[in-house]
């Protein structure tokens, strides 16, 4: 509504797309984690969505943080977080990043190869190292095993190298892949971690950290938590002295962010110019795959729009939706790869200036958006929602602001 008023006053870029972040969803997900996996400490994967208010809320709630670069480490440290609440969970780091972590007091970090051990020995000999093992990630949307993870057969040799270099290896980590849709992938992964723990004992180490990584999905979280909890009880029945952590990302933020986009142009095949196999109407919106919808390319996501306004009205009659047509939705850049939806059912009567909405836009969207073609990254409007958790979120953030200067 504000955009309509600004557009009427000829304000440039009045119809700019924007996110709405409901922080009460993040709070609710944290409560859900504590309820279902109380034995596992969450270390939020900053790369998933480094939104400053998400980081502040999670910091206030007591989570740890999984960082992959000096930039992410610095963002978290600016919140007043103790370095002990950070794991540098990138197995292949630049030497300058390792030195930066040492200077910042971040000691816990992962490795999966011998070259990394020699690098750490030179740049951060006091590091507390976690060997990342290879697991079966074939049941995940984004597979990571092709890039990271030491096969179990190579672990004894890596531990021997670490011992020769005088390095302290304190545990084992794994990652079943981002967006894991088969909870039972964690069973095999925990079994492999158990084997790696036993290899550590044979090498003279006493491991104290088990990092079960990420891959947690909102839709099957309760099932995953049950399966993972059972696997931990089976393979690590006596966990005294073992700290179990995880690296959830999308679980916390995917549902917390929605996106509103404006229809800036349209093409309809009323003059025979459109291919008969193509959708009848092409809608062009002011965010695309170079912006928030990079998740389509990088995160293998399929997005589904819904109508926010039709013909300038926010009242969308059911009859209009019943008459939906085959349409396509395109981003604003001059690149033909900038396709948001190749085919979707939408009213053909949508006009330039109308709005579409997209839910579940909190994971791997803003963080990888670019300014290609001169288009700005969509801004975020924050809310605490109006339901359960709203008051708690306000209180938690107010208390955090009183303790920490985040400027």
What is the rounded distance in angstroms from the CA atom of residue 114 to the CA atom of residue 111?
8
**Residue 197 phi, psi (nearest 5):** -60, -45
Task: Answer for the pair 206, 154: CB distance below 8 angstroms, yes or no.
Answer: no
Percent of the chain with pLDDT over 70: 94
Examine the pLDDT at 165 and tell me if it is beyond 70: yes
What is the rounded distance in angstroms from the CA atom of residue 159 to the CA atom of residue 176?
22
Examine the pLDDT at 318 and tell me if it is beyond 90: no
C-alpha distance from residue 369 to each of 109, 120, 178 (Å): 27, 32, 19
Question: 296: exposed, middle or buried (C-beta count within 10 Å: 0-12, 13-18, 19+)?
Answer: buried
Give the domain ranges of the chain. 23-252, 257-361
Quick: pLDDT tens for 259-307.
999 999 999 866 555 566 789 899 999 999 999 999 998 888 899 999 9
Residue tagged active-site, from 334, 339, 341, 384: 334
The CATH architecture of the domain made up of 23-252 is Alpha-Beta Barrel (3.20)
Q: 3-7, 63-67, 213-217, 339-343 — which is least confidently predicted?
A: 3-7
Examine the pLDDT at 315 and tell me if it is beyond 90: no
Its CATH class, for the domain covering 257-361, is mainly beta
Task: Answer for the pair 273, 65: CB distance below 8 angstroms, yes or no.
Answer: no
In the structure encoding, which two tokens stand for residue 255, read together?
A: 């549902």
Task: Answer for the pair 80, 284: CB distance below 8 angstroms, yes or no.
Answer: no
Strands 325-330, 281-285: pairing is parallel
Q: 50-59, 141-150, 326-335 — which is least confidently predicted?
A: 141-150
What is the rounded distance in angstroms from the CA atom of residue 46 to the CA atom of residue 68?
8
If you average pLDDT over residues 226-241, what whole number do you get? 94
Task: Answer for the pair 152, 174: CB distance below 8 angstroms, yes or no.
Answer: no
Which pTM value belongs to this model?
0.92
If you average pLDDT over residues 344-350, what whole number do you get? 93
**Residue 253 phi, psi (nearest 5):** -120, -15
Active site residue 334: yes
């Amino acid at each position: 509504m504000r955009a309509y008023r600004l557009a009427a006053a000829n304000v440039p870029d009045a119809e700019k797309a924007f996110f709405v972040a409901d922080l009460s969803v993040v709070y609710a997900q944290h409560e859900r984690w504590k309820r279902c996996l109380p034995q596992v400490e969450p270390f939020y994967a900053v790369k998933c969505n480094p939104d400053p208010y998400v980081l502040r809320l999670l910091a206030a709630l007591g989570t740890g943080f999984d960082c992959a670069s000096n930039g992410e480490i610095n963002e978290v440290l600016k919140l007043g977080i103790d370095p002990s609440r950070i794991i540098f969970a990138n197995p292949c780091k630049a030497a300058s990043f390792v030195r930066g972590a040492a200077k910042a007091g971040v000691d816990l970090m992962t490795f999966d190869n011998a070259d990394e051990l020699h690098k750490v020995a030179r740049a951060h000999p006091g590091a507390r190292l976690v060997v990342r093992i290879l697991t079966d990630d074939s049941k995940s949307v984004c597979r990571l095993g092709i890039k990271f993870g030491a096969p179990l057969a190579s672990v004894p040799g890596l531990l021997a190298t670490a011992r020769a270099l005088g390095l302290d290896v304190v545990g084992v980590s794994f990652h079943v892949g981002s967006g894991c849709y088969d909870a039972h992938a964690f069973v095999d992964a925990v079994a492999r971690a158990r084997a790696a723990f036993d290899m550590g004992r044979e090498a003279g180490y006493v491991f104290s950290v088990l990092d079960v990584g990420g891959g947690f999905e909102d839709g099957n979280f309760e099932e995953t938590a049950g399966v993972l909890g059972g696997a931990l009880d089976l393979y690590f029945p006596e966990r005294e002295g073992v700290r179990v952590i995880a690296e959830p990302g999308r679980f916390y933020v995917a549902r917390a962010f929605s996106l509103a986009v404006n229809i800036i142009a349209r093409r309809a095949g009323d003059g025979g110019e459109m291919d008969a196999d193509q959708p009848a109407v092409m809608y062009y919106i002011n965010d695309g795959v170079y912006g928030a919808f990079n998740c389509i390319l990088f995160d293998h996501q399929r997005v589904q729009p819904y109508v926010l306004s039709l013909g300038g009205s926010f009242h969308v009659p059911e009859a209009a939706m019943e008459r939906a047509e085959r349409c396509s939705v395109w981003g604003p850049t001059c690149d033909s790869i900038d396709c948001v939806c190749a085919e979707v059912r939408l009213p053909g009567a949508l006009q330039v200036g109308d709005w579409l909405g997209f839910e579940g836009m909190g994971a791997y969207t803003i963080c990888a958006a670019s300014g290609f073609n001169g288009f700005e990254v969509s801004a975020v409007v924050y809310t605490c929602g109006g339901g359960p958790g709203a008051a708690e979120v306000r209180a938690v953030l107010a208390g955090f602001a009183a303790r920490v200067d985040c400027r």
